[in-house]
Structure 1
Amino acid sequence: MAMNAPADDDPGRSSLRLLLDPVYGPYFVGNLFAATGIWLYTVTAAVLVYQHTGSVVWVGLTGAVTFAGSLVLAPWAGVLSDRTDRRRLLILGRTLSALSCGGLALWIGIVGDGSTGPWPILVASALLGVSSGLTSPAQMAIVPHLVPAPDLHQAVALGSVTWNIARAVGPALGAAITGSLGAVAACWFTCAGYAMFVLVMLFLRLDEPRRDGDEGDTGSFREGLRFVRGRPDVSRALWAVAALSLAVDPVITVTPSLARTLGASDTFVGVLGSAFGAGSVVAIVALRPLRRRWGLRRTGAVGAVVVALGMFGVGVGPTAWAASVAAFVGGLGLLAASSSLTSQLQQDVPEVFRGRVMALWGVAFMGTRPLASLLDGALAELLGPRPAICLISVTALAAGWWARRDPAAGRLTVRTPGPSLGKTVFRIPNWRSATVTISKSAPTRVADSDQIPEGGRLVVDVDDRTVGVFRFQGALYAYDNTCAHQGGPVCQGRLIPRVAEVLDHGSDRNDLYFDDGDPHIVCPWHGYEYSLTTGRHAGIDAIGLTRYDVNESDGGVYVRI
């Protein structure tokens, strides 16, 4: 059965009600502990390595190995997320994180932190990178199964808030603990954060949908890449995420050097990171009304511009206080930009591809950090910390451009042979490009008859629209690929049999069954259902899809706009 579609005026539950949810609430708390741990560790490692080496390049190398796992393991992690139990995968990965930090704490406590130089820290950072690479796609892909559809945008925003609360608390906590209690205590605190997340996931029960591989869908990473190449809106969102990651990396990598330039202490590393995170936390207050007024894309674009302005202010700020204020502004923009882009991906990507696309999200946001850290470190050594930060901030403007572009521009086509409609769930196994120009004045041949087999579909681009052609019980049906709800690509959604009720004589529900004679199209964005044979909404007859004339002759299929 398809999920309930949210009404146009249903923004979902408030943040407070969502945090009190028995499923999402514990997940939020556990994720907050784990995210705080990684920021605590990142600052601790940066301070330790800089104390040992006095080199920003070494600090950049430490950040590079910490986030390299998201880049190297992405092909396997995305496939694992689509093939295995995501909850168990998260438990395994975060257990490895806890063991890595606990092992480093034992090493420093027994051997000391000066006799072997920065190498133990690099090893622990690399193991954290491996665990992050394994869990990142699953952690992103599991969010739609934690909450009902109307709550998805707010859940994604709260996920970003989790990360940014951790960004606000973790760096300051890491600097304070390292400065007062030492590196061993900081590592144990990080280990405890990951352990808390593991405990929450052990007791959390989720009803994830089965992800059986349909014919032609092997679940390979290559198929995920093919899907992204065929969806310019998805690929642009991923490029924007990568540009944002590059723009904000100096907050950690270059800050130790910036602190010396401004005459601040080592704790400035934590203060600046906390100011950036605090801005993201405060932004949640204005995010919902902005998103409802401007939409996801415009909100994301404006947020990216604010990130650029904030990071430029960090670079030119004359004092530590001024740089901290600018970091706060940058944090405001980061939440708006990152949560909007992530919401686009969550709602636009079908379940069957979500793990692999979220793996690419991890490559874009976390996997680019190795290159970003090395680049930032090299620029800071060559030009100084301030020019390096100002130069890198320009990449956020590129993120705004990618986020704002019209999703219909350059849209490609999806053609799918499709299995029998007798199956409960219809999945799209093959993604291939094919562009057909359809005349608005006369019927135009769009395909050979055998290209649309029984139970199959063909989705083609036209001059200014996209049309889906379906064959069911020998008849052809053609609809505009635009959902009546919020314009989602409805013809690329799943096909399921209608869920019908059996009523007894008292008009009480007696049973439910699947009516294979009345298949429904389910929009992949918000779950709106439409009858394949009539184009009308399953529950509101006044709502329907735009239908086009379609006929078959001389071995071809013809559509009239």
Structure 2
Amino acid sequence: MGAPLAEEGRDPGRVRRVLGEAFRSLSVRNFRLFAAGQVVSVAGTWMMIVAQDWLVLSLTGDSATALGTVTAAQFTPMLLLTLYGGRLADRYDKRRLLIVCNLVSGAYAFVLSLLLLAGALELWHIYVFALCLGTVNAVEVPTRMSFVSEMVGSELLPNASAFSAAYFNIARVAGPAVAGLLIATIGTGPVMALNAVSYLATVAGLRMMRTSELRRAARVGDRGGVLDGLRHTRARPDLTLPMALVAVIGLFGLNFQLTLPLIAKTVFDADATSFGLLTTAFAAGSVLAAFATTARRGRPSGRTVSGAAFAFGLLEAATGWAPTYPAVVVLLLMTGFTSIYFAQAANHRIQLGSDPQYRGRVLALYTLILQGSTPLGAILVGQLTEHLGARSGLYVGGLVSLAAGATAWLLDRPAPHAKPV
């Protein structure tokens, strides 16, 4: 009697169906080319981040101020120029714009690696590189996000977006690990050079695409500006509510780059290996959530977004009060899952609900809110933990996120014909 059940449990057809469902956006040739290039490029970017941070600390005698200056130099152009970058994405051919952005970023990285290999690199060179890269990213990020819908269409957009989040989080784990090994064996210069070459993978994928298969929206022309995109968003409560949730949770809840090291070192007296396990647990949860959301087929409801925000806040607050190190590891796995599930749900609700003619500018606003709230939130949470202890950053951020999710749930009024996802 047990054999048929065992065979049923190992049904290869069912496994193939599940995998086919998870990776169905890869059936689109253009997206396959883009994803392959992005996997290489994103891994190179994370390698570069580790090499750059290591280099700055080596040049400055472990100066946290210098490291913070590099981060500020890279993110400031994104805060100032991302809305204009979204305007360019709506006005010009996104594929060509991405080719230019990747070539320019690769050229910057190549020049930096040459200076380093020649022994001529100075700290101000890194500041300039970070500023230039941030300027390019202000255009590249909203263009890349809005280009996904042109490759796969609205039906496959949630799956393609979730798959992109999955490989990004995998690269976030693998890239730094590989970079650490390479820096120890071949040095930071060759790692920088590898990052420069990695941009060519995305360029190659974009060049090989069949442009006739892209689903291009009508362009806005010369009269459509940044303010038109803001007015479009403001007139849509179904867009402004998830935007507001992203702002609040990004400000108070998504500060793990600050809270995790503090928890590890000051609460549990963890060494580097134990701290790495906390980071890995959070990243593993993020990857699982990204793959879970590949099953989504349409636009999520507003209450799916607010419910995910509520669950994230509850788990983050619980992590702050966790009594033991193993409990923190388990809770961080679940918190990482809900953080990405919320971010993906908000992204899909905003992207699938916006008019294609405004999508670049709407996603630029989304990026601006998400990126802009992070450094400000780090300052606020840093002050909080200074006075109330390391745990406070997690449980206060969690409680604020929980309250924001509950408020959004109460404010949301689904239309009678809406179909929650």
TM-score interval w.r.t. the shorter chain? 0.7 to 0.9
Residues 208-287 of structure 1 correspond to what in structure 2 (within 5 A)? 208-209=215-216, 211-213=218-220, 218-247=223-252, 249-253=254-258, 260-261=265-266, 262-265=269-272, 272-287=278-293
CA contact (8 A) 1:61 1:370 kept: no
Work out which of the residue numbers 189, 197, 202 in structure 2 matches 1:197: 202
Q: Deviations over 1:298-354 (max 9, x none)?
A: 333343344335545665667776655443222211221111111111221111111
**Would you say the 8 A contact 1:60–1:376 is kept in 2?**
no
Q: Which residue type is aligned with residue 275 of structure 1? A: A
Over alpha carbons, which structure has the higher Rg?
Answer: 1
Q: How has the CA–CA distance of structure 1 residues 178 and 369 changed in structure 2, closer, same or farther, with 3 Å as cutoff? A: farther
Amino acid at match of 1:209: R
**What are the equivalent positions in structure 2 for 1:62-81 lying under 5 Å apart?**
62-81=70-89
CA distance in 2, matches of 1:87, 1:293: 25
Taking a change above 3 Å as real, the CA distance of residues 400 and 126 of structure 1, as seen in their structure-2 partners, is farther
Match of 1:99 in 2: 107
Q: Say if 2:95 is the partner of 1:87.
A: yes
Query: Which residue pairs with 2:150 in the alignment?
Result: 145
Instruction: Say which structure is richer in helix.
Output: 2
Q: 8 Å contact 1:56–1:254 — kept in the other structure?
A: no
* CA distance in 1 between partners of 2:155 and 2:298 (Å): 17
Higher alpha-carbon deviation: 144-153 or 350-359: 144-153
In structure 2, the CA distance between the partners of 1:83 and 1:295, relative to structure 1 (3 Å rule), is closer
Q: Percent identity?
A: 28
Superposed CA RMSD: 3.7
Give ranges in structure 1 of 5+ residues lacking alignment: 1-10, 410-464, 466-481, 488-561
Q: TM-score, normalization: structure 1?
A: 0.61
Q: Which residue of 1 aligns with 2:355?
A: 350
CA contact (8 A) 2:282 2:332 kept: yes
Q: How does 1:132-531 map to 2 (within 5 A)?
A: 132-179=137-184, 181-206=186-211, 207-209=214-216, 211-213=218-220, 218-247=223-252, 249-253=254-258, 260-261=265-266, 262-265=269-272, 272-287=278-293, 295-312=300-317, 323-376=328-381, 385-397=390-402, 400-401=405-406, 404-408=409-413, 486=419
2:25 is the alignment partner of 1:18: yes
SS at match of 1:111: coil
Quote the Cα distance in structure 2 between the aligned partners of 1:123 and 1:268.
35
Question: TM-score if structure 2 supplies the norm length?
Answer: 0.79
Q: Distance in 1 between matches of 2:377 and 2:312?
A: 16
Q: Residue type of the partner of 1:83? A: R
1 CA distance for matches of 2:321 and 2:330? 12
CA distance in 1, matches of 2:380, 2:180: 24
Paired AA for residue 204 in structure 1 = M
How far residue 50 of structure 1 moved from its aligned partner, in angstroms, is 5.2
Distance 1:58 1:228 in 2: 38
The CA distance in 2 between the partners of 1:338 and 1:254, in whole Å, is 19
**CA 1:378–1:22: 2 relative to 1, 3 Å:** same
Instruction: Indicate yes or no: 2:40 matched with 1:33.
Output: yes
Give 2:24's aligned amino acid. Answer: R
Note the C-alpha offset of 1:122.
3.2
| AA matched with 2:91 | R
CA distance in 1, matches of 2:69, 2:324: 27
Whether the aligned pair in 1 keeps the contact of 2:253 and 2:400 (CA below 8 Å) is: no
Whole-angstrom distance in 2 between the partners of 1:353 and 1:75: 11
1:471 is matched with: none
8 Å contact kept, 2:242–2:350: yes
Q: Are the aligned partners of 1:81 and 1:138 in contact in 2 as well (CA < 8 Å)?
A: yes
Separation of aligned partners in 2, 1:238 and 1:338: 11
* Equivalent residues of 1:236, 1:402 under 8 A apart: no
The alignment covers a number of residue pairs equal to: 399
Amino acid at match of 1:368: S
**Corresponding residue for 1:529?**
none
Structure 1: how far apart are the matches of 2:394 and 2:180? 22
Q: What residue ranges of structure 2 are gaps of 5+ in the alignment? A: 1-17
| CA displacement at 1:46 relative to structure 2 | 4.1
> Are the counterparts in 1 of residues 258 and 378 from structure 2 also a CA contact under 8 Å?
yes
Q: What CA distance in whole angstroms lies between the structure 2 residues aligned with 1:308 and 1:127?
A: 36
Deviation sequence 1:484-531 (CA, Å, 0-9, x none): 6749xxxxxxxxxxxxxxxxxxxxxxxxxxxxxxxxxxxxxxxxxxxx
Distance 1:110 1:390 in 2: 48
Q: Quickly say closer, same or farther: Cα 1:342–1:65, change in 2 above 3 A.
A: same
Of stretches 94-103 and 341-350 in structure 1, the one that deviates more from structure 2 is: 94-103
Q: Return the offset for 1:400.
A: 2.6
1:42 aligned to which of 41, 45, 49? 49
Contact (CA 8 Å) 1:168, 1:275: kept in 2 or not? Answer: no
- 1:37, 1:190 within 8 Å by CA — same for their partners in 2? yes
Tell me, in whole angstroms, the C-alpha distance in 2 between the residues paired with 1:382 and 1:180.
42
Deviation at 1:286, TM superposition (A): 3.9
Question: Which of structures 1 and 2 has the larger relative contact order (alpha carbons within 8 angstroms, sep 6+)?
Answer: 2
Rounded Cα–Cα distance in structure 1 between residues aligned with 2:241 and 2:249: 12
* Cα deviations by residue, 1:16-56 (Å, 9 ceiling, x for unpaired): 23224312122122222333333333344445545645465
Q: Please give the secondary structure, in 2, of the residue aligned with 1:276.
A: helix
Shift of 1:257: 5.5
- Which letter maps to 1:24? F
Q: Deviations over 1:333-386 (max 9, x none)?
A: 122111111111122111111111011011022233333344455556666654
The answer to whether the 8 Å contact 1:247/1:394 transfers is no
Tell me the secondary structure at the aligned position of residue 73 of structure 1.
Answer: helix
What is the CA–CA distance in structure 1 between the aligned matches of 2:375 and 2:394, rounded to whole Å? 16
Deviation of 1:248 after TM superposition, in Å, equals 5.9
Read off the aligned partner of 1:86 and give its amino acid letter. Answer: K
Aligned residue type for 1:94: N
- In structure 2, relative to structure 1, the CA distance for the partners of 1:166 and 1:306 (3 Å cut) is farther
Change beyond 3 A, Cα 1:19–1:213: closer
Tell me the CA shift for residue 224 of structure 1: 1.0
